[in-house]
């Protein structure tokens, strides 16, 4: 390895928002992640929870309801 051009590769603590702490190696001393293999729905098998802070899912459902109603009326 050429000297003076490589970043230092040190022990790293990775902290997840779920509280899980992992130790690995990185050029950074600590990394904060939002999701990890302990809490990601893909691994937990839980149904995905959608963080609906602005009511967007609700408004989408409402809009879709109106669309369905219109399609029902069009059939008649």
Cβ 47 to Zn ion, closest distance in Å? 17
Q: In the bound complex, what is the minimum distance in angstroms from residue 32's beta carbon to Zn ion?
A: 11
Interaction site with Zn ion (CB under 5 A)? 16, 18, 20, 36, 38-39
Spell out the residues 6+ positions from residue 20 whose beta carbon is closer than 8 angstroms to its own: 36, 38, 39
Task: Pick the closer one to Zn ion by CB: 43 or 60.
Answer: 43
Q: Which is nearer to Zn ion, 21 or 69 (CB)?
A: 21
**Residues 6+ away with beta carbon under 8 Å from 14:** 21, 22, 23, 24, 30, 31, 32, 33, 36
């Amino acid at each position: 390895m050429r000297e003076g051009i490589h970043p230092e590769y040190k022990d790293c603590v990775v902290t997840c928002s779920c509280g899980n702490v992992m130790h690995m190696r990185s050029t950074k001393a600590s990394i904060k992640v939002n999701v990890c293999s302990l809490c990601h729905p893909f691994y937990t098998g839980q149904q995905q929870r959608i963080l609906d802070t602005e009511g967007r899912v609700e408004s989408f459902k409402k809009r879709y309801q109106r669309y369905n109603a219109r399609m029902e009326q069009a059939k008649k």
